[in-house]
């Protein structure tokens, strides 16, 4: 098993694209990249801890290779927005790929370069690629939020602008 960690704005919206794929053994919402040990959601949402909201995926690379995770990751985000994602603004909602080994690093860089070279977007790709650091799981009520609160989750996706952006920019 390996870990993959992606920041894509609100972590609630980053779970469902990955969850029913073969070889995915678990997905946790949490925080990575900041300066506070064991941060709470209340701390992270201020943008002052330096953490990003992330999903950490446990996967079997023999069944679902890291490249496929990257192929699923990019179409969930606006990789040109360095101020957050969709309606969620602030440093805690920026996008990033946190790599756990050198192979993931090389594959993430390659996929970012391919996206930039595709000219799909008129603006630069600003998603950072950084080494994984300590992962802090989010509070239990954030885990599988889309299952626990399906109506609110559906409303969040629609009102955030995420689904409209994905349809307009990635479904081509």
Q: Which residues are catalytic?
A: 10
Beta-carbon contacts of residue 16 (< 8 Å; ≥ 6 apart)? 146
Diameter of the chain measured on Cα atoms: 42
For residue 159, the number of C-alpha atoms closer than 13 Å in the C-beta half-sphere is 7
What are the distances in angstroms from CA 171 to CA 32, 74, 76, 108, 167? 29, 12, 11, 21, 5
C-alpha–C-alpha distance, residues 6 and 52, integer Å: 9
Structure tokens that stand for 69 in this block: 């995770």
Q: Any bridge partners for residue 50, and if so which?
A: none
Neighbours of 114 (CB within 10 A): 12
């Amino acid at each position: 098993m390996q870990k993959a960690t992606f920041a894509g704005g609100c972590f609630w919206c980053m779970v469902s694209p990955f969850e029913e794929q073969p070889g995915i053994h678990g997905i946790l919402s949490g925080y990575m990249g900041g300066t506070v040990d064991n941060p709470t959601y209340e701390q992270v949402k201020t943008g002052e801890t330096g953490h990003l909201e992330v999903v950490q995926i446990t996967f079997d690379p023999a069944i679902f290779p890291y490249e496929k995770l990257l192929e699923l990751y990019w179409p969930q985000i606006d990789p040109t927005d360095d101020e957050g994602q969709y309606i969620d603004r602030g440093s805690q909602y920026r996008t990033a790929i946190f790599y756990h080994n050198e192979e993931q690093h090389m594959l993430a860089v390659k996929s970012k370069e391919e996206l930039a070279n595709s000219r799909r977007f008129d603006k630069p790709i600003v998603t950072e690629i950084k080494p994984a650091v300590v992962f802090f799981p989010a509070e239990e009520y954030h885990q599988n939020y889309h299952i626990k609160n399906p109506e609110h989750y559906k409303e969040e996706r629609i009102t955030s602008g995420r689904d409209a952006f994905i349809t307009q920019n990635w479904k081509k």
